[in-house]
Amino acid sequence: MIVADLLAEDTLQLRLHTPSSATRLDSRISWCAPTEVTDPTPWLSRNVLVLTNGIGLQAGDDRTWQAYVERLAAVPVSAVAFGTGTAHRLLPPGLVKAATRLDIPLLEIPRAVSFLQVHRYVTNVLQAEHYAARTRSWQLAEACSRHAASGASVRTILAEVGRNVGAPVAIMDGSGSVLAQWPAAVRWTGEDLRRAAMDDDERAVPLPMGGGSFQLVTRGKARDEPLATLLAPAASIIAVQLRSALQTTSHKQAQLQALLLEASDWQGVALEKFAGTFRSTGLEADQPTLIVTAALEEGRLADVWKIRLALQEVFEVLRMTVLGDLVVAVAQRPGAGSAQACGDGSLTASLTELFRSVVPDLPVVLKGLSNSPGELRLSLHHAVRLVREVSGPVMAADLDLDSVLAVAADQGARAGARKLLAPVVAYDQQHTGALLATLRTYLDSDCHPSRTCHRLFIHRNTLAQRIRKLESLLQVRLDTLEGQTACLMALHLQPDLHQE
């Protein structure tokens, strides 16, 4: 019920005495408060309709009326309904001025209409609205429950809620970060959460998450029912879905963390053992598997939820874990719609674009679908390393030199690399030279002389002299792909050699 509804009710014969805007007349009335005290604010709550005869207030003192209305505006009240004919024959001019100045609708109740009639009308309408809202709220909750029981995503449930309230909806955390929303095209900010919390219609409904700070937020003009009443049961369904998502993706944590540790221990953990640990997570070794890694910044735990919910939109099986500031997700069995819509590569590319929209500045690496434990191990190694080098969501290449060298490099290969580079190391130690650093920079610069000189701050002739000396010590030609590859692999196999 809004203030304009009272004015539209012919039986009440109410008249508006302030130039109130349409927005103020659209203010919702929460309940009716008859009062004759000079300061009723300790007993009032937001959006009440104040009924008063003005008994005890000095009719000719504008300062008294100004102070009275200021106290009501601080609550704030939805309107003041002033009865004439009992204590005041006409509306006090000071009251009209104060209500106009503070933009509070002032309604006159004529002598022919009793307070009881106004009070009864407002109470009956509010009770009818409350019953209708309760009925619709449980109908909405039932629809959300059906979606949840069928395995629908949180986004699908939000769409049901949004269609019912007639407005965009989102799940936001206490910092204003959006976890999920409907429709996808709407842009939300922390300001939406702040405004919703201050809104008269309570457009931010807390999700009962057991200590969490998540809110179900609506925006814009929604239906007439009090949204807190309408959305409370649906908010409980959404909270259950979020908790279910957390439990579904977070069990088998010990096995998943062991898998991550084993992935990089190429010498100590055989592939057979790694595959056994992989199966212990509940994942299937013969199923294509997507790897997602993210470098989590402090205070951005909501980003973990965004990644989780986005992946659950696509995959039927999902495991996630957090190790320090590293988030790792392993997903299998893309949904029928996703699998039919695009192949492995385009599916990963689509997810990368999605992450660029929901977590644009978060370092995220997506590694395309792996089809065996051996390929998965390489993907994990690559994704965990690469996520430290990116500044936003990226799709990793299918093959990575570091990962290939890591799996192929046994003690013999490392010894061979050390022997190849030993003459250069010895020369630098004897002559306090910079040949090893020059070799690294030259290869890192794609063997481009000008770029190498620029990075080393040396003349081109100096670089040419050093290259000739390196070729003499290494017994390889650095102007050939074979020689460059041999040196590059040796440096990758001995990454700490320059510190000796």
pLDDT at 87: 82
Q: CA of 54: how far to CAs of 13, 35, 64, in Å?
A: 19, 9, 11
Residue with tokens 């644009």: 360
pLDDT for position 343: 47
Cis peptide before 183 (omega within 30 of 0): yes
Residue 311 Rama label (left phi>0; alpha psi -120 to 50; beta): alpha
DSSP E strands, 210-325? 215-218, 289-295, 315-323
Strand 289-295 relative to strand 326-334, pairing: antiparallel
Q: Any idea which residue has 């109470």 for tokens? A: 123
User: Which two structure tokens, joined as six digits, stand for 455?
Assistant: 């990075």
Q: Is 447 left (phi over 0), alpha (psi -120 to 50) or beta?
A: left
Structurally, what CATH architecture does the domain formed by 251-406 represent?
2-Layer Sandwich (3.30)
Instruction: Give the per-residue pLDDT at 117.
Output: 92
CB atoms within 10 A of CB 8: 11
pLDDT at 499: 46
Instruction: Check if the beta carbon of residue 290 is closer than 8 Å to that of residue 366.
Output: yes
- Cα dist. 495→165, 233, 246, 448, 498 in Å? 60, 58, 39, 22, 8
- Residue 240 burial (CB < 10 Å; 0-12/13-18/19+)? middle
Decide: residue 498, CB within 10 A, 0-12 exposed, 13-18 middle, 19+ buried: middle
Number of Cβ within a 10 Å radius of residue 218: 26
If we measure between CA atoms, which residue out of 381, 362, 354, 359 comes closest to residue 370? Answer: 381
C-alpha–C-alpha distance, residues 89 and 111, integer Å: 9
pLDDT at 486: 86
DSSP state of 292: E
The CATH H-level superfamily of 129-248 is: GAF domain (3.30.450.40)
Token pair listed for 243 = 């908790």
Residue found by looking up tokens 């407005």 in the block: 167
Q: What is the Cα–Cα distance from 291 to 366, expressed in whole angstroms?
A: 6
pLDDT 10s digit of each residue in the chain, 500 long?
A: 899 999 999 999 999 999 998 888 988 898 999 998 889 999 998 899 999 998 877 777 888 999 999 999 999 999 999 999 888 888 999 999 999 999 999 999 999 998 889 999 999 999 988 888 788 888 888 888 888 777 677 888 888 998 888 888 888 877 677 888 888 788 887 777 777 666 555 677 888 865 557 888 888 655 455 677 788 888 888 887 776 665 555 567 788 888 888 887 777 788 889 889 888 888 888 889 999 999 987 766 677 778 888 887 788 888 888 888 888 999 998 876 554 444 455 888 889 998 998 888 899 999 988 888 888 888 888 898 899 999 999 998 887 777 777 666 655 677 788 888 999 999 998 887 789 999 999 999 999 999 999 999 999 999 999 999 999 999 899 999 888 888 888 888 777 765 44
Give the distance, in angstroms, between the CA of residue 351 and the centroid of all CA atoms in the same chain. Answer: 16
Instruction: Supply the pLDDT for residue 198.
Output: 63
What pLDDT score was predicted for residue 341?
42
Write out the two tokens for 215: 């809110």
Residue 194 to residue 444: CA distance in whole angstroms: 49
**What is the reported pLDDT for 210?**
57
Count of CA atoms in the C-beta half-sphere (13 A) of 150: 10
CATH architecture observed for domain 3-113: 3-Layer(aba) Sandwich (3.40)
What does the alpha-carbon distance between residue 241 and residue 247 come to, in Å, rounded to a whole number?
A: 10
CB atoms within 10 A of CB 203: 25
CA 400 from centroid of its chain's CA atoms:
31
The 3-state DSSP class for residue 427 equals helix
Judged by DSSP in three states, 25 sits in helix
pLDDT for 135: 86
